[in-house]
Amino acid sequence: MNKVEINKLFEIISIEYGNFNVDADKYKYWADFLEPYSFEDVKTRFYELRNQREYTIMPPSASVITRGLTKVNNKIKFDEITFTCQFCHRFFNTYDDMVEHEERCRSVRYIERQYKRFNLNNGNVDKANLYNMPQDEFDSKYRLLLKKVQELTNDAKEKQVIENIFNPPKMSDARKMLYGKEN
């Protein structure tokens, strides 16, 4: 809650409880309690408590009102979040956003593994930069990295897989790879 909201809450409490007064000390005491929480949560809780018999005459205290509420910084709005990246578990509001991110995330993680594996740039990757760069720039960086892996790996099969990405085999050759012998 910000100061405007805290004042608004005091106004509400004063309307409900004619005997509620706030001086500077009390304001600070309440503000410390209320600040981490959302105005809506606090207001809802206040009205719930207002209806309870024990708060007929005196308002509930700040610590009672905020008890059990979730602090805003820790609060995840689950009703707005439906999709998460399977790799880094970031939240997304739409499926399309998630898919777009996930493809990049998968590729960044691949790049990161190869940098470690071949000790490129001492294994250090500027991940934030990779996540943020435009798609075409990212694609050309990715192709360069694949070339590098193809060059450095001792695994013949991996070399071939990468070769097939750059130079897809002709259909007849593809069949040979699939079936062993052409038939």
Site residues for Zn ion, 96-155, by CB under 5 A, read 105
> How many Å apart are CA 142 and CA 68, to the nearest integer?
48
Q: For residue 97, what are the CA distances in angstroms to 84, 103, 179? A: 10, 10, 39
Which of 82, 160 has the CB closer to Zn ion?
82
- The answer to whether the Cα torsion of 156, 159, 165, 168 is positive or negative is negative
Contact indicator for 114, 149 with CB cutoff of 8 Å: yes
Site residues for Zn ion, 88-107, by CB under 5 A, read 88, 105
The nearest distance, CB 95 to Zn ion, in angstroms, is 14
Binding string, 37-76, against Zn ion, x = CB under 5 A? ----------------------------------------
Residue selected from 85, 125, 145, 149 as contacting Zn ion according to rule CB under 5 A: 85
Cβ contacts of residue 65 below 8 Å, gap of 6+? 33, 34, 42, 45, 46, 49
Which of 66, 114 has the CB closer to Zn ion?
114
Binding residues with Zn ion: total (CB under 5 A): 4
The nearest distance, CB 128 to Zn ion, in angstroms, is 13
Half-sphere exposure (Cβ direction) of 145: Cα atoms closer than 13 Å: 23
Residues contributing to the site for Zn ion (CB under 5 A): 85, 87-88, 105
